[in-house]
Amino acid sequence: MTSTTDLVILGSALAIGSLIMIFFRPRLRSARRLASPQDMQEVFVRLAGDFSPSTIVLLRGMPTKLRVQRESEESSSDEIVFPRWGIDRKIPAYKTTTIDFLPEDCGVFPFHSRDDRIKGFIVVVEDPSAGAT
């Protein structure tokens, strides 16, 4: 049952990432053309019983600043783990923790709480303006 649930979640994450690219591609392209190499993508994640959002879409090759705000004292939510990037970070209750990393490969990458009860996905997509002139 767990593997079926994981497959459904993975499929949903891929579908959401595809829809975002389809509907927001023109905006991403025009915004990226104006961006400088020092730009970062910044995402705010709320942790209160689960991750919100639980699926995060990022552009490949763009530095990322993930801001995680833990709104609970529950011990299972005191740490966030990103296995793909080797990140294992303590998240203090009622504080915002910043995590910087560089998503270099496209794909769907899981992240989770310390005890693996709370799960989410990072979907890394190709920058649509990479081939634009």
At 41-58, the pLDDT tens digits run 999 999 988 999 999 999
According to DSSP, residue 118 is labeled: S
| 4 vs 78, higher pLDDT | 78
Q: What confidence tier does 21 reach under pLDDT thresholds 50, 70, 90?
A: low
Domains and CATH numbers, the chain: 2-125 (2.60.40.420)
Q: Is the pLDDT reported for residue 127 higher than 70?
A: yes
Q: Is the pLDDT reported for residue 33 higher than 60?
A: no
In the prediction, which pLDDT does 57 show? Answer: 95
- What average pLDDT score do residues 11-39 get? 52
* Long-range CB contact pairs, 74-81, < 8 A, 24+: 74/49, 76/113, 76/114, 76/115, 76/117, 76/118, 77/47, 77/48, 77/49, 77/113, 77/118, 78/114, 79/113, 79/114, 80/47, 80/111, 80/112, 80/113, 80/114, 81/111, 81/112, 81/113, 81/114
In the prediction, which pLDDT does 27 show? Answer: 42
- Sheet arrangement for strand 41-47: 51-52, 41-47, 64-70, 96-101
